[in-house]
Amino acid sequence: MEKQIINTKNAPAPIGPYNQAILSGNLLFVSGQIALNPDNNQLVLDDIKTETHQVMKNLNGILSEAGMDFDNVLKTTIFIMNMNDFAQINEVYGSYFTGDYPARETVQVAALPKGVNVEISVIASK
């Protein structure tokens, strides 16, 4: 199996023993992204919509580095702290796609890294 590590300065550097993404064949596996601004390494937690936009910007930075965009996304996983935030997260998330939405699951969790409210990972294909 051949795999290529994808890293970009347009998304936060990993905060553990993992990579931003791995490209294997035509499939891109993007690690979960949180609302960490890659320019200053600060969390963007003003409100849930702003936080979700930062997560999506980070995902976009990684997709772009791999020569892809949100049209290439096949599947997403959304982890959220509070299911009451789902509608606002969904509104922001949906604005990044053009209509052929990917498969998805959304799961409420007990905790996320650095105390954030939302984390999203994706699988994409060229």
Report yes or no: 17 and 27 within 8 Å, Cβ to Cβ.
no
In our burial notation (b when 16+ CB lie closer than 10 A, e otherwise), range 70-90 reads bebbeebebbbbeeebbeebe
pTM across the whole model: 0.97
pLDDT tens readout for residues 29-73: 999 999 999 999 999 999 999 999 999 999 999 999 999 999 999
pLDDT tens readout for residues 64-83: 999 999 999 999 999 999 99
Structural domains of the chain, with CATH? 4-125 (3.30.1330.40)
